[in-house]
Structure 1
Amino acid sequence: MAHIDYYFATVSPYTYLAGTRMEVVAAKHGATIAYKPLDVIALFGRTGGIKPAERHESRKENRLQELRRQAKKNDMPINLQPAHWPTNPAPSSYAFIAAQKAGGGDLGALVHAITRRCWAEEQNIAEDDVIRAALEEAGFDPALADTGMLAGAEEYAANLEEAVAAGAFGAPFYVVDGTEKFWGQDRIGDLDLFLAGKL
């Protein structure tokens, strides 16, 4: 049985655009998933990337066009300049970590519930009430937004170190069985083919 380490960022538009397609692929092939939220800006800094705000204007323009096209291809609404971005990804990430430990809900749905609020619904995912609503939507106890902050901070930092060691450099990033790497929501089809033994 294959295992996927899923590195993602709750503020990443490409994590939003992944929706729950990776989870569908994993279920199809019986693969397990370990969800690893991280600070993608710190990951850029550690792996040779550049913060979106500091990129050349041509790269900024291309990014916005690509987001628009990818959203259209996946039939997903998107606000290319959301009111609450960038925002602090730590609170939503800590809550996700607490939910993963607590169980009882749908983790893929939780990733999507959080990122959708940022990229399609003009909500600030650093705010407790927004996080609680996302938790509840995905079947988790909304009170998890208020627990496990220290443990969440430690795991959040550890996920960054693990991502660097695993060769991840963006989000979403999927690593199968510690070796095969797929960067970006537009590589989920390739992930599917790989798990099927066709790549």
Structure 2
Amino acid sequence: MADIDYFFATISPYTYLAGTRLEQIAARHGATIEYKPVDLLALFPRTGGLPPKDRHPARQEYRAQELRRQSRKLGVPFNLQPAFFPTNPAPSAYAIIAAQAAGGGDLGQLVLAFTRACWAEEKDVADDAVIRACLESAGFDPALADRGLLAGAETYSANLEEAVTRGVFGAPFYLTQDGEKFWGQDRLDDLDRHLAARAG
């Protein structure tokens, strides 16, 4: 069992803003990570949420302000209205599932590559060429895009069911082995402190 179960979505702006800070925290504490991409649009209605386009205008306005603030704070490029959002997240999720099973590359960089492609590079993460390029940039065989699609679909579906069962309702969402839950890239410092306290 991994020390941290990481639920995320490849088209989530907040997953993009998380960057690779989770991986840095895990390395500092000798913690392992299990990557669990989920379908947010399927998760929201099952956990009391709404897709951004269906939220009250006040919530949409706040989300836009917060995304601008957080991207400036973190010093990362960010497009509030990317050309390919929303898009089908399943192909990129399958690629991550296949990459995790195959090993040999950097999963944190792969997640970042997909989310950066969506939110900063105006690329469609459902496009086969984009998927292959992201795999290769993170040190994985780009041919993984063609393999394990059935297993990827099954795991992707299972991740959703697990997320609902374990109380996950958004992304990024971090669950520790001892049952602590952390929602959002702005809770990574709290996760870091929790892991430090547990080790001490």
TM range (shorter): over 0.9
- Residue of structure 2 in register with 1:78 after alignment: 78
Contact kept in structure 1, 2:6 and 2:174, CA below 8 Å = yes
Unaligned runs of 5+ in 1: none
Name the amino acid aligned to 2:134.
A
Identity %: 69
- Residue of structure 1 in register with 2:52 after alignment: 52
RMSD: 1.2
Contact kept in structure 2, 1:68 and 1:78, CA below 8 Å = yes
* Distance in 2, Cα, partners of 1:141 & 1:43: 30
- Residue of structure 1 in register with 2:115 after alignment: 115
Residues 90-141 of structure 1, C-alpha deviations (whole Å, 9 max, x = no match): 0000011011111000000000001000000000000000000000000000
Deviates more, 1:54-63 or 1:1-10: 1-10
* Distance in 2, Cα, partners of 1:67 & 1:152: 30
* Distance in 1, Cα, partners of 2:37 & 2:131: 15
* Distance in 1, Cα, partners of 2:177 & 2:69: 31
* Distance in 1, Cα, partners of 2:192 & 2:120: 27
- Residue of structure 2 in register with 1:167 after alignment: 167
Tell me by how many angstroms 1:178 deviates.
5.1
Count of aligned pairs? 198
Contact kept in structure 2, 1:2 and 1:30, CA below 8 Å = no
Superposed, 1:170-185 pairs within 5 Å as 170-177=170-177, 179-185=179-185
Name the amino acid aligned to 1:49.
G
- Residue of structure 1 in register with 2:25 after alignment: 25
Residue 96 (str. 1) matches residue 67 (str. 2):
no
Tell me by how many angstroms 1:41 deviates.
1.2
Contact kept in structure 2, 1:166 and 1:178, CA below 8 Å = no
* Distance in 2, Cα, partners of 1:149 & 1:194: 36
Tell me by how many angstroms 1:165 deviates.
1.1
Contact kept in structure 2, 1:2 and 1:195, CA below 8 Å = no
* Distance in 1, Cα, partners of 2:24 & 2:76: 17
* Distance in 1, Cα, partners of 2:95 & 2:26: 23
Superposed, 1:133-152 pairs within 5 Å as 133-152=133-152
Unaligned runs of 5+ in 2: none
3-state SS of the aligned residue for 1:170? coil
Q: Which portions of structure 1, spanning 4 or more consecutive aligned residues, are displaced by more than 4 angstroms?
A: none
TM-score computed with the length of structure 2 as normaliser: 0.97
* Distance in 2, Cα, partners of 1:61 & 1:24: 32
Name the amino acid aligned to 1:13.
P
Tell me by how many angstroms 1:64 deviates.
0.7
Contact kept in structure 1, 2:2 and 2:34, CA below 8 Å = no
* Distance in 1, Cα, partners of 2:77 & 2:83: 15
* Distance in 2, Cα, partners of 1:110 & 1:138: 5
TM-score computed with the length of structure 1 as normaliser: 0.97
3-state SS of the aligned residue for 1:81? coil
Tell me by how many angstroms 1:2 deviates.
7.2
